Homo-oligomer: A and B are copies of this chain.
Amino acid sequence: MATKRSNQIEAEELRQSTPSSTVLQAINPRQPIAAQIYERLRRAITTLSMLPSEALSEKELSLQLGVSRTPVREALIRLADEGLIDILPQRGSFVAPIRLRDVEEAQFIRESLEVAVSRRLAGGCSRRFLTEIKSNLYDQEKAVNTEALDLFLDLDEAFHRSFCEEAGLPKSWRVIQSVKLQMDRVRYLSLPDLGHLRVLLTQHRSIVDAIESGDVEKAGNDMAAHLREVLRTARKLSEQRRDLVEN
């Protein structure tokens, strides 16, 4: 039976002979392999560096990454759970199309949860939270001004995550993050619009203001309006990019 080492050497050779992609980078054998693979594939799919209907085979991925098929398989199962890939038994696994239906439902779930979270925070939150969230807003402005798109997206994610953290709702964030993936793919289709980013930043500020002033209704309404922005662009894109967006 081949050892881990020989397996890794094979993979090393393979890596040199094939064109590299974001997925193909050294795996750290010290920490859980399945989680690393999941993370990497998730990123590749949400950033559209892997496109819908592209095939992901257990065997090929395990060879390319220099690991066995077991952790690859576990990563694929998680991705399928989150609707990012479709596993067809005995046929293959494929990146799922961007289904307008799924994006709409993701938006529904996110809105339901984040509106409730915002209302809760408007009902009471810590000084510390308000300080930190304003610091984040400041960073967002810098990112917009320097046109640092990826940075803005990271700050946006941190913005929404910190809401759940402050409210003491970690599982809610996990749900949001999971359905958010469907919306992220749409974002990457339409990203380089700087004016759009300014709109988002304004909305973020409006939400924070409402929370700070304790206006429960406004906090919820502003968050709802904010989250509907993404859906609007998704609907627009579904007309233009029928090659990538389904329904």
Interface set of A (CB-CB < 8 Å, partner B)? 32, 70, 74, 77-78, 81, 83, 89, 102, 105-106, 108-109, 111-113, 115-116, 168-172, 175, 179
Contact B113 A169 (CB under 8 A): no
Contact B171 A83 (CB under 8 A): yes
Each complex incorporates copies of this chain amounting to 2
Measured in the bound complex, the distance between the Cα atoms of B171 and A102 in whole Å is: 8
> Nearest CB to that of A106 among chain B residues?
B171
Contact A169 B77 (CB under 8 A): no
When distances are taken between beta carbons in the complex, the residues of chain B under 8 Å from A89 are 32
Contact B175 A171 (CB under 8 A): no
> Nearest CB to that of A34 among chain B residues?
B77
Q: List 15 A-B contacts (CB under 8 A).
A: A74-B77, A78-B81, A102-B171, A105-B169, A105-B170, A105-B172, A108-B169, A109-B113, A109-B171, A109-B175, A112-B112, A112-B115, A171-B179, A175-B175, A175-B179
Task: Give chain B nearest CB distance to A241 CB in angstroms.
Answer: 23
